[in-house]
Structure 1
Amino acid sequence: MDYIKMIRNKVGSDPIILNFAGICVVNEKGQILLQKRGDCNQWGFPGGAMEIGESLAECAKREVLEETGLHVEIDYLIGVYSNYFTTYSNGDQAQTVLHFFKGYPVKGSLNVDGVETVELAFVDPEHAPPLFNQQHKDCLADYRSNEKGRFR
């Protein structure tokens, strides 16, 4: 059982704090990888929830591999985004803390699973489509500004 399901079995939909990790994957052309999400059919960065026993970097790399088919390496931490509150469509509530890294692909090829991911695209960061939430919008803005170690 994954961590979020385990917690939700105990607290129901009450507010909890969730740790997420994601990566702004940048290719050799300077384009960033975006994922059209299966849950909302909107664009965002690949990433997801941290599981017990893994580091934030391991979480970010695992999630990118699961959602895109790419193995990545991390360059640096862009920022930590912690002042965001979400109510999910099922009524679950959470304050989400996203640890967002810059990285690059080292092997693999893009793979759309049709469930979590319905489309993947490398895009010019200055011409990215609208992103699905404010947290990801702030991540993109900080990447564009060449931020490192930003806290929001």
Structure 2
Amino acid sequence: MPVPDFLTKLRKHVGHDLLPLVGVTAVVLDDEGRVLLHQRSDDGRWATPGGILEPGEQPAQAVVREVREETGVEIEVERLATVIGQEPHTYPNGDQVQFLDLAFRCRPVGGRIRIDEDESLDVAWFAPDELPRMAERILERIRWAREPGGVPYFER
């Protein structure tokens, strides 16, 4: 996955030290209840679209941008689904991050699936009972986004 310019510049100052970052995730559900997923180009895993909030960007606007970039699908954000502080992670190059992830329930409103080879190997809609193998944290976001009532999940 491409690293945003602001993060590349920041890393020149802090090296590999731990950076707290805000991530945004889209759980896009169509009228049939299917979930939009993309197969990540960096590790080959299926995941919900998302990325890093850039300086000055609003989270809901960032998630719309990320979905468009990674899948070609235009979305409308319906509500916040989860707020989760993830465990620190170290990338193979030694960079350390800890994400505060904001996941949004979204619906498609236009566009069409296209594959951006910088970020995605494949893009597809999946029925909830036919999801590919994914990290538990991603499955958890999908479960909460599908919950009726609209109360966001967060750890207490």
State the TM-score, normalized to the length of structure 1. 0.91
Q: Residue 30 of structure 2 corresponds to which residue in structure 1?
A: 27
The one-letter code sitting in structure 2 at the alignment partner of 1:15 is L
Report 1:69-148 matches (<5 A).
Answer: 69-131=72-134, 133-146=135-148, 148=151
Percentage of pairs with the same residue = 32
Distance 1:99 1:3 in 2: 20
Report how far residue 129 of structure 1 moved: 1.1
User: Could you give the per-residue CA deviations for residues 119-150 of structure 1, whole angstroms, max 9, x where no partner exists?
Assistant: 0110012321121x443232123235446311
- Greater mean deviation of Cα atoms: 5-14 or 96-105: 5-14
* Aligned residue type for 1:126: D
Greater displacement, 139-148 / 119-128: 139-148
**2:86 match: secondary structure:** strand
What SS does the aligned partner of 1:22 have?
strand
What aligned pairs does 1:32-71 form with structure 2 within 5 A after superposition? 32-71=35-74
Deviations 1:69-97 (A, max 9, x none): 11110111101111322111211111111
Change (3 A) 1:145 1:28: closer
- Residue pair 1:126, 1:144 contacting (<8 A) in 2 also: no
Partners of 2:35 and 2:126 within 8 A in 1: yes
Q: Normalising to structure 2: TM-score of the pair? A: 0.89
Task: Count the aligned residue pairs.
Answer: 151
Runs of 4+ off more than 2 Å: 140-148
CA distance in 1, matches of 2:146, 2:87: 20
Q: Structure 1, unaligned stretches of length 5 or more? A: none
